[in-house]
């Protein structure tokens, strides 16, 4: 698995640039936009079965995109230094995530595997899972999400290396367009020892094992 570079960098700023640039509409405006899309689909937003739909969709969006309200750096801040000299690889594998592609607003579902080589500091494992969630609950492309997770972990923990592998199925490929179910995409972002040392990288890849595209859906 080749190391990848990305222009995406983790930021310690509390809000992503997209939110700063855009004025958030009111809930009523958002619900009206859903009614427009319902009409675009060919249905009547005033029929009984659809009356509550705009409200539900807008609430679902609050859940799908909750990651915009959370600073990923801040939520990783609590680290532990009493590790009794533990300096071997820490691996968290098969962290399930649900995200949405920024091109079609449909689901991306998959797993993330994270590893790092501590440099005195470690972080609680629930924080690693939470880090994945913060970036997944935004509009994404998989390559960017992979780099964001790795770069943020590197920035906060300052470890000797970070590895992130993401395997996911993209519903914009399976339910529309070229309709190719069963296809999964794998991206990786390796930093420090995982990038420079083949045996470190091999050890990590042995830990996460072979990929299983069928497990995503």
Residues in contact with Zn ion by the rule CB under 5 A: 101, 103-104, 172
The number of CA neighbours under 13 Å toward the Cβ of 159 is 30
Q: How far is the CB of 185 from Zn ion (least distance, A)?
A: 11
Q: Which is nearer to Zn ion, 50 or 185 (CB)?
A: 185
In degrees and rounded to multiples of 5, residue 161 shows phi and psi of 180, 155
User: Which residue of the chain is nearest Zn ion when measured via CB?
Assistant: 172
Nearer to Zn ion, 76 or 101 (CB): 101
- 103 catalytic? Reply is yes
Measured from the CB atom, the residue of 55 and 177 that comes closer to Zn ion is 177
Catalytic residue selected from 104, 143, 155, 207: 104
| Separation of alpha carbons 168 and 12, rounded Å | 27
CB of 67 to Zn ion, least distance (A): 18
Residue 143: CB minimum distance to Zn ion, A: 12
Residue 82 annotated among the catalytic residues of the structure: no
Q: Considering the complex, state which of residue 101 and residue 162 has its C-beta at the smaller distance from Zn ion.
A: 101
Structure tokens at 51: 């009356």
Catalytic residue list contains 63: no
Catalytic residues: 101-104, 142, 170, 172
């Amino acid at each position: 698995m080749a190391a990848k570079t990305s222009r995406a960098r983790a930021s310690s700023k509390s809000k992503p640039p997209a939110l700063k640039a855009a004025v958030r509409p009111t809930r009523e405006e958002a619900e009206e936009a859903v009614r427009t899309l319902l009409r675009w689909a060919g249905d009547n937003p005033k029929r009984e079965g659809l009356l509550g739909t705009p409200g539900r969709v807008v609430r679902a969006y609050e859940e799908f995109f909750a990651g915009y309200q959370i600073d990923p750096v801040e939520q990783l801040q609590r680290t532990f230094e009493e590790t009794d000299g533990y300096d071997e690889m820490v691996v968290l594998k098969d962290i399930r995530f649900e995200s949405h592609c920024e091109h079609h607003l449909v689901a991306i579902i998959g797993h993330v595997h994270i590893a790092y080589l501590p440099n005195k500091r470690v972080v609680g494992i629930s924080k690693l899972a939470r880090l994945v969630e913060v970036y997944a609950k935004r509009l994404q492309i998989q390559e960017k999400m992979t780099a964001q997770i790795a770069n943020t972990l590197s920035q906060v923990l300052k470890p000797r290396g970070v590895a992130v592998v993401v395997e996911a199925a993209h519903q914009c490929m399976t339910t529309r367009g070229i309709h190719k179910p069963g296809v999964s995409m794998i991206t990786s972002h390796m930093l420090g020892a995982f990038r420079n040392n083949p045996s470190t990288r091999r050890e990590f890849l042995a830990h996460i094992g072979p990929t299983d595209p069928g497990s995503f859906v």
